[in-house]
Amino acid sequence: GENVEQHPSTLSVQEGDSAVIKCTYSDSASNYFPWYKQELGKRPQLIIDIRSNVGEKKDQRIAVTLNKTAKHFSLHITETQPEDSAVYFCAASTLTFQGAQKLVFGQGTRLTINP
């Protein structure tokens, strides 16, 4: 089945600098890759996603790139702000049997923005 690896597990950057989080996946059939932000005690919230028919997607300060050949995708946050501090999860969406589906998540990256 699908396996998603995420690095780094913790990341500390200065306010205004960029942050990059990387994920790899194993199932070449996966073709949808969302990123979720989770603040302490809160629900995961989708911040950006990418489908396999595109290589890059950008939304203001956030961008995601996808390399299907290498089976990896990355989250890029530019001009980081203190409110970007949270745990970020990458995920891969995969079809299971009988038309079912699920998200397989990475282990998470705790991002800290230092003022």
By CB under 8 A, the residues from 9 to 38 that bind another protein are 31-32, 34, 36
Give the Cβ contact number of residue 48 at 10 Å.
19
How far is it, in rounded angstroms, from Cα 52 to Cα 42?
Answer: 29
- Output 51 or 61, the one with its CB closest to another protein: 51
Residues in Cβ contact with 55 at an 8 Å cutoff, skipping those fewer than 6 apart: 65, 66, 67
Q: Report the nearest approach of another protein to the CB of residue 107 (Å).
A: 5
Query: Residue 6 phi/psi, 5° resolution?
Result: -130, 135
Which position among 65, 74, 78, 93 is part of the footprint of another protein (CB under 8 A)? 93
x-or-dash string of contact with another protein, 37-66, rule CB under 8 A: -----xxxxx--x-x---------------
The C-alpha atoms of residue 85 and residue 51 are separated, in whole angstroms, by: 26
Segment near another protein (CB under 8 A), from 14-22, 60-68, 78-86, 96-104? 96-104
